[in-house]
Structure 1
């Protein structure tokens, strides 16, 4: 007579355990899915563009801010810009395009977009030449293109000098996402890794595979260790240049 009760209890226990495990798994899957979606938004490169007279809007997801990578205002030759067609002018001989086959580039575009949007969650500008200063080509129709990324509000940064080991880590139960990585040297340099000689080259020299290597080695892990060496990243600099590895990353559940 005890066997049916034991069997029923076992079944009930297994059922409850199954529901509990399913709930935990679903919550874990949901959390992982949300973080993966967050990572995809944080790590991707964004591009926004608008024609003269239109508004250009730049926006980042919650918990991130705008980092302007580059900006272009003007017109390239040949343009072939589908969304911003050339102006037309009327003459006695008929309708002819303006001088839109010429190159026109306002060098102040990047700095102006930094002033308007950098470190903000969102921004909006009305595209016209007055926004960027003196117009060197007023007869040419122009457009604005902005390239940007969305930087996490909470992030960690690490620097390791050449041949040193760098350890990246997150709290238990969290995983890392590599936001940026640089191996080489910039003109600004870093206080942690000063040059050995005053006459050392100060030109920018950066590995083109640093982000790729860090992403492959550390993305999605709780911790990782990597050496700041030319064996890992190649040597992008002049002989004798003291290089360093600089990494920015964030952690999420």
Structure 2
């Protein structure tokens, strides 16, 4: 089982999953491996949104990222950084594209003198991906007999192009202020339709002076027969 209780939105999702199931779920497993410390790992879904299944920072075998490395740096195959999967889930779940610096998970060093790597396994869930600019309303909707299950929601900004039309350049410069929120799940999960405003009054202000947007990934669920 996946342990999702460290973040409110994931705890909410795990609870709802016990009562509903996805009406259609074609999800293929993807894997990303980053060998270079200080490098960037990129997860992406052409269709659907990211769902991190497992993540390892450390070493679990002698073959992965071993080229040009002395044997003594590969011998420890029971090395893993605690909490790596939680970091990946908070940063990437519910997004179509996610980039993460390996430095975000490499401290403290889980095994000195061992050459480590970041390996992430994820699926692309067939979810709807909704982007709503600040001060506008997000409308989530499912067909009759289905219910909304919010998989991930982030409020802030992580690029300079989304929701940038007629916005001052200075208001789209900060691309490191997007943060996860459980408020969309709390308001919309279990309903057939839901409207929520993308505003600081609802989500707080993660970056003053930056024009923000709300990203929501949600699934339409069918109630399980009793």
Q: Distance in 2 between matches of 1:128 and 1:168?
A: 47
Which of 103, 120, 132 is 1:160 aligned to? 132
Post-superposition offset of 1:172: 0.8
How big is each residue's C-alpha offset from its partner over 1:5-56, in whole Å with a ceiling of 9 and x where there is no partner? xxxxxxxxxxxxxxxxxxxxxxxxxxxx9873647xxxxxxxxxxxxxxxxx
Distance in 2 between residues matched to 1:223 and 1:63, nearest whole Å: 24
1:206 matched to 2:136: no
- 1:141 is matched with which residue? 76
2:140 & 2:148 partners in 1: Cα distance? 8
| Deviation string, structure 1 residues 54-87 (Cα, Å, up to 9, x no partner) | xxxxxxxx6334477x9898xxxxxxxxxxxxxx
Q: Which residue of 1 aligns with 2:216?
A: 247
Cα distance in 1 between the residues matched to 2:189 and 2:69: 45
Alignment CA distance shift 1:107-1:121 (3 Å): closer
| Alpha carbons 1:161, 1:244 under 8 Å: kept | yes
2:188 counterpart residue number: 218
Q: Give the C-alpha shift of residue 205 in structure 1.
A: 0.5
Match of 2:151 among 179, 194, 203: 179
Match of 1:235 in 2: 205
Residue 169 of structure 2 aligns to a residue whose secondary structure is coil
Larger relative contact order, structure 1 or 2 (CA cutoff 8 Å, min sep 6): 2
Q: What are the Cα deviations for residues 201-229 of structure 1, in whole angstroms up to 9, with x where unaligned?
A: 23310244x2x101100111101000000
TM-score where L is the length of structure 2: 0.53
Q: Give 5+ residue unaligned stretches, structure 1.
A: 1-32, 40-61, 74-104
Matched residue SS, 1:131: coil
Bigger radius of gyration: 1
> 3-state DSSP class of the match of 1:181?
strand
Query: SS state of the match for residue 152, structure 2?
Result: strand
**CA RMSD across the alignment:** 4.3
| Whole-angstrom distance in 1 between the partners of 2:130 and 2:21 | 22
Look up the SS of the partner of 1:236 in the other structure: coil
Q: Which residue is 1:36 aligned to?
A: 19
How many Å separate the matches in 2 of 1:134 and 1:144? 22
Between the aligned partners of 1:179 and 1:238, the Cα distance in structure 2 is 26
Name the CA distance, whole Å, in 1 between partners of 2:17 and 2:216. 24
Q: Is the 8 A contact 2:150 2:218 kept in 1?
A: yes
**Post-superposition shift, 1:252?**
1.6
Residues 106, 141 of structure 1: alpha-carbon distance in 2 compared, 3 angstrom cutoff: farther
Alignment size in residue pairs: 158
| Contact residue 161 and residue 243 of structure 1 kept, 8 A | yes
Q: 1:127 aligns with which of 29, 41, 61?
A: 61
Unaligned stretches of 5+ in structure 2? Answer: 1-15, 94-121
- With over 3 angstroms needed to count, the CA separation of the structure-2 counterparts of 1:65 and 1:219, relative to structure 1, is farther
